[in-house]
Chain A
Amino acid sequence: MKIVVLVKEVPEASARTRIDPVSLRLDRSGTAALNPFDAHALEEALRINEAQGEGEVVAVMMAPASAADSLRKALAIGADRAVHVADDALAGSDLVATARALAKVVEREEPDLVLLGQQGSDSDGAVLWSALADLLRLPVVSQAASLELAGGKATVKRQTEYGYDVIEAPLPCLVAVSDAINDPRYPSLKGIMGAKRKPYEELSVADLGVPVEEVGEDGSRTTVLALADPPSRGESVRIEDDGTAAEKVLAYLGERKLI
């Protein structure tokens, strides 16, 4: 089946991320990577098509042109094709503006299934799928711990505040998967080499046919007003394990009468 996987670029987990104090936007100048949560969505898409013996996986990302390496990583892992929505006019897009641009790509692709990750490791938004589903007028299920496809339906088991639900939605639909749904594969050397030959399409706002005033800063209705340090949380102790970490922890707990 044809599956669109929405992937995002985020700052590398090991990099110290910051918000630019002047633009009040995320400083994306440091090393960036494919959102680790999206690797689970991609893995799920690959497994579905491997089980069915056919299909196409299209990785779609909206990000500045500099994010190409992260999107190519999705190709190296196994996506068949990439669509990169890149345009200066998209800078500063909030949730709704981002959804407007990505909805156009999904409409063009007409997939049977759209998969997303459980959250961006940078934004912690965990909301894009629902905005997108509303624009596309399609059913959506989030937080999928398992996903089964049969008889033109997606069956999802997912956790909420009260335990596990099972939800069914007819295809086409959107499903956002939890990070426990599978263990994502790593790109193989062959995959990395092969990625260079896979179709990679770049689209601008004009290509998508979205009015410019509906995206980017102009199309966004949220603003960042100011930044501040978090409330201080008192002294903390750092222990690098040199073989005596357990002893040091015990001493700390003993001193404070915690054991």
Chain B
Amino acid sequence: MRTLVYLEDHEGELVRGSLGVLAKAAQLDGGVAAVVCGPGVASLAADAGRHGAARVYVADDPALAAPLPQPRVDVLARLVGEQGFDTVLFGASVLTADIAAALAVRLGAGLNWDLVDLERRDGALVGRRPALQDSVYADVGWKGEARLALVRSGTYEPAETGGEAEVVEIPVELEDFSTRAVMVERAHAESEGPSIEDADVIVAGGRGLGKPEGFSLLEDLAKALGGAVAATRAVVDAGWYPYAAQVGQTGKTVAPRLYIACGISGAIQHKVGMQASGTIVAINKDPNAPIFEYADVGVVGDLHQIVPRLTELVKARGA
């Protein structure tokens, strides 16, 4: 196996998801290589070495400053072609999903996504992919090379090996269409908001609240329980609640003792941010909502009836 791991960086650091995949890749393939893209990222190569990379390719170019996928596809396609990598691994993110899909086209390669494990079975690479809202687990493989994989966020922990990587600068040549999309404003978290990571109890709301004012029901319950309020991306994107309180793939990862999900369908991208919670209670009027697949207590009903009543009961109990 000749494996390449794409390492994503943010604000001068390699992101955890990438380093986790690097750790796994180093286990599967002794001489794993990694690639970093962006102006001034050479300084990250040492960190990649400490986390298991034997060699780090550095694509240092101002055109790679913004975290946009298309120019990165050009860099990776050329690198994989020239160096003959047979496996390319990514820790899943908004950026890497878009890189991996286009790279699959460029290389005529297979891409398996949302993997929660990778192993070698009789010499072949096999991925484990939960499907249909995680109700079934599929073992997936690849025909031919290269094998491309996106690993679900939070799957592997980074591991310090204390190694040192050989650093190789690579040239950057971009396709004309790759630089047409430009980032005019970069990653800002909008307004300040509450901190939910340390909360012992979280009451979370989604589009089932019906309108932004619906959050006041959750605030009352959270107050009675001494907890914090969280939200799904759907309602954060819609401006109902601050981004700082979002749970999921592109929000926070939380693990409170108790997580009460109200009017949340339970998409995988939400689940990855809260599945480690101690006890999950879900209130949803749709008996087939995916969240019931992983809730400890599934309540089928209207949150507008149940939540205020629950708040009353909790208050009465405390009094």
CB distance from A6 to the nearest CB of B (A): 14
CB of B286, distance to nearest CB on chain A (Å): 8
**B135 with A230: CB separation less than 8 A:** yes
Nearest-CB distance from A39 to chain B (Å)? 14
Task: Return A177 CB to nearest CB of chain B, in Å.
Answer: 10
B44 contacts A by Cβ under 8 Å: no
The stretch of B51-59, B161-169, B290-298 in contact with A is B290-298
B213 / chain A contacts, CB cutoff of 8 Å: none
Contact among B111, B139, B243 with A225 in the assembled complex (CB-CB below 8 Å):
B139
- Give the bracket for the number of chain B residues in contact with chain A: 35 or more
Q: Which listed residue, B93, B106, B267, B296, touches A161 by the CB 8 Å rule? A: B93
Do A222 and B142 touch (CB < 8 A)?
yes
The interface centre, meaning the residue of B108, B110, B268 with most chain A CB atoms within 10 A of its CB, is: B110
A66 within 8 A of B: no
Do the beta carbons of B250 and A127 come within 8 Å of each other?
no
Please state if A131 and B101 are interface contacts (CB–CB under 8 Å): yes
Tally of A-B residue pairs with Cβ under 8 A?
265
Are A18's CB and B132's CB within 8 A? Answer: yes
Q: Which secondary structure dominates where chain B touches chain A?
A: mixed
Given A130-B101, A259-B314, A246 and B309 contact (CB-CB distance below 8 Å): yes
Q: Mark A62-80, 1 if CB is under 8 A from B, else 0.
A: 0000000000000000000
Cβ–Cβ contact B138 & A227, under 8 A: yes
Task: Report the separation of the CA atoms of residues A195 and B223 in the bound assembly, to the nearest whole angstrom.
Answer: 51
B181 pairs with A239, CB closer than 8 A: no
- B94 lies within 8 A of A134 (CB): no
Asked if A149 is at the interface (CB within 8 A of a chain B CB), the reply is: no
Q: How far is the CA of A158 from the CA of B176 in the complex (A)?
A: 24
How far, in Å, is B13 (CB) from chain A's closest CB?
12
Asked whether A127 lies within 8 Å of B111 as measured between CB atoms, the reply is yes
A203 within 8 A of B: no
Is B120 in contact with chain A by the CB < 8 A criterion?
no
* CB atoms of A230 and B184 under 8 A apart: no
A223 touches B142 (CB 8 A): yes
B137-166 toward A: CB 8 Å interface, digit per residue (1/0)?
Answer: 111111110000010000000000000000
Top 7 nearest A-B pairs (CB, nearest first) are A241-B301, A221-B110, A180-B237, A166-B185, A246-B309, A127-B101, A134-B102
